[in-house]
Amino acid sequence: MIRAVDLFAGCGGLSLGFQNAGINICAAFEYWDVAANCYEKNFSHPVHRHDLSDTETAIKTISALNPSLIIGGPPCQDFSHAGKRIEAGRASLTGAFADIISAIRPKYFVMENVDRAQKSNAYAYARSVFKSANYGLTEVVLDASLCGVPQKRKRFFCIGVLDTQDNELSSIIEDRISDKHMTLRDYYGDTLGFEFYYRHPRNYSRRAIFSIDEPAPTMRGVNRPVPKGYPGHPNDACPLNESVRALTTMERAMVQTFPKSFIWDGNKTDTEQMIGNAVPVKLAEFVASCLLEYISQGPPSTVELGFEEWLLTQKNYSVRSAKDVVSRCKRAEKILPCMEKPDAFYLFTLEQQEDYKVLSVSVRSQIKRALNLKFEFLSE
Q: What angle do CA 179, 184, 187 make, to 5 degrees?
A: 70
Element (H, E) at 48: strand 47-48
Active-site entry in 38, 76, 147, 329: 76
15: left (phi over 0), alpha (psi -120 to 50) or beta: alpha
Cα 62–Cα 68–Cα 71 angle in degrees, nearest 5:
70
Decide if 76 is catalytic: yes
Give the bridge partners for 24, in sequence order.
Answer: 3
What is the residue-wise DSSP string for 225-294? PPPTT----TT-SS---TT--BPPHHHHHHHTT--TTPPP-S-HHHHHHHHHHSPPHHHHHHHHHHHHHH
Q: Cα–Cα distances in Å, from 84 out to 218, 316, 354?
A: 18, 46, 49
Collect all residues with Cβ–Cβ distance below 8 Å to 304 and sequence separation of at least 6: 326, 329, 330
Distance, CA of 132 to CA of 126 (rounded, Å): 10
CA distance linking residue 223 with residue 221, whole number of Å = 7
Provide the total of helices (H) and of strands (E) in the chain, helices listed first: 15, 11
> Catalytic site residues?
76
